[in-house]
Amino acid sequence: MTQYQKIVTNIVKALEGKKIIRLAHTIDEGLDLTVMPEIPQEIWYKYPTVAEDHVRHVLEEKGINCVRPFPNNHRDRDYYYDHLMWKIMADGYLEKMEEEPIFYSYKNSTHFDEVCEEYGFRSFMPNYSVFKELQHKANLENYGVSPDLGLIPFFEIEMKDLDYEDAVKRLGDPFVVQFSFQESGWNTYGSQDTHIIYSRRDLEDVTKNYPSDMKAKVSKFIHGIPAATIVVATARGPLVNAPYFQITGEPHLTQGEEGNRLLFCGGNYRHKGKLSDKAKDKIIKIGQSMGNELYNKQYQGIFGLDIMIEDGTDEVYVLEINPRLSGTTMSTNLLASKKNQLPLIGMHMAEYLRCIPESFDMEEYQKEIQDQTDFAFFFPRYRGGELTQIKEAPTPGIYKYKADGKVEFVKEAYNFDDLPNKDHFLVTRIWPRMKNLPPALAPYEIWTLEDAFDDIILNEKYRSINDQIYEMFEFVPADSFDSSVPYKVE
């Protein structure tokens, strides 16, 4: 029996008499990230998007039934996890369950924790108070980041006391100003709380938008390549996945976006010639240090780690911790499956179920997940500057890049196993038709089993592919369709 089979066998056994209920916030947030087809799950949806189709396609082949909790009316409303839980309870669903429910979502909320505590429900997410503390930008030293393990030089100061010349003298030019989740009110998505200060004017513009007594973390700007990885904190020790290089501010994918230098728009898992052994070893040490420290503070399972690899020195610096499922968890899961490896989500689940076998070789598994992979993904931001809706969209699935440079649809599909070679690519995560698409969000993603970038710029082939896929969409003004009308429920 392989290591993979041992974990799956233990998880399935631990789930006897239980059901996993997965909750989404907006769209399909997090649902596609937790797919592990071998594990029986009760699936809850809000919106029928490509990710839902993928989950149905995979799970129903395994004979696992997928259900919807309620008709998808008011599709533009944000249903938070606690809303969904109360809806589930109001419908008497839990009262009818013979199994013990275990809740799972992309990330947590305060009310969700309160409901779980009040009703004695279990979940596969860390306590939300830990999430909020980890979003405090100056807290990294409390979580395994030290001057020799990735700590960027910084100081904390109230905005009214921040002087441009003093900051340049202490940290160099440019420098970075960041605000924590609790202080700025941002949810940290899309680097909305992070500002690179290149001039006195940049600092003045930031100062105008924040209260004078708000504390900021002011740090040295590291010139280098942004990267990220996923870590799983377990009782047996942390597991650090192979990093990928983050693509931010790519001009062909962020057209028209102000402040797009920090805008995340893709990733590249190809390491050859780009990641030294020194940097790779340092990333593992940092991930292990943080994983151990977080576990000591009652944090279990997956978290994302954003890092910067400095030009010229290959030193690794920590940018932030994301204490939740990472947006790349799904691609990591599918890549592992393609290589016949255990997905990290399996280790996350096994940790919460306390079923990692003593015989499981953690060191061997750590080596497996550090393997280099030929894989890249990217997503363009909507090129219009206003709220819009999608009237027509391409079919999600496999497309071929032909010798004449044209793109051709091959078949409907949802994962890497269906990609026959590198001339084929996957169009996925298509934004639902007739739902309002906010400015700067991506209407789709493209995944490929080859390097799509020249350094950090989309190469000529994939610029052409991206343009052709984008032209298959028809955008119309927002609210052209009544987005409160429910989808037809079969």
Tell me the pLDDT tens digit for each residue of 344-354. Answer: 888 999 999 99
Helix (H, G, I), strand (E, B) or coil at 67: coil
Q: Does any domain span residue 359?
A: yes
E runs forming strands in 199-256: 215-220, 224-233, 239-240, 244-248
Task: Clarify whether residues 353 and 388 are in a common domain.
Answer: no
The percentage of the chain sitting over the pLDDT mark of 70, rounded to a whole number, equals 78
Q: Are residues 162 and 284 in the same domain?
A: no
Least confident span in 219-233, 284-298, 381-395:
381-395
- End position of a domain, from candidates 174, 198, 220: 220
Q: For residue 203, is pLDDT > 90? A: yes
Predicted local confidence at residue 414, as pLDDT: 65
On whether both 246 and 192 belong to a single domain, the answer is no
pLDDT of residue 29 exceeding 60, the answer is no
Give the pLDDT band of residue 271 (cuts 50, 70, 90).
low
Place of tokens 């309620």: 70
pLDDT category of residue 26 using cuts at 50, 70 and 90: very low
What is the per-residue pLDDT for 184? Answer: 53
From 368, 399, 433, give the residue that closes a domain.
Answer: 368
Q: Are residues 320 and 425 in the same domain?
A: no
Judgement on whether residues 389 and 414 belong to the same structural domain of the protein: yes
Q: Is residue 144 part of a domain?
A: no
Q: Are residues 323 and 393 in the same domain?
A: no
Domain that holds residue 394: 379-477
In this structure, the answer to whether residues 275 and 403 fall within a common structural domain is no
Q: How confident is the model at residue 90 (pLDDT cuts 50, 70, 90)?
A: low
Chain mean pLDDT for the chain: 80
3-state secondary structure of 288: helix
User: pTM score, two decimals?
Assistant: 0.85
Q: How many helices (H) and strands (E) does the chain have?
A: 14, 23
The domain that contains 263 carries what CATH number? 3.30.470.20
| Contact present, 3 and 346 (Cβ < 8 Å) | no
Residues 186, 295, single domain; the answer is no
- Give the SS3 label for residue 137: helix
Do 9 and 110 lie in one domain? The reply is yes
Helix (H, G, I), strand (E, B) or coil at 195: strand
Ranges 35-49, 123-137, 336-350: which has the least confidence: 35-49
Determine how many CB atoms are found less than 10 A away from the CB of residue 117.
10
| Composition of the chain by helix, strand, coil, percent to 5 | 30, 20, 45
Q: Higher-confidence residue: 249 or 288?
A: 288
pLDDT at res. 82: 53
46-50, 400-404, 477-481: segment of lowest average pLDDT: 46-50
Among the three residues 315, 347, 368, which one is the final residue of a domain in this structure? 368
CB atoms within 10 A of CB 166: 13
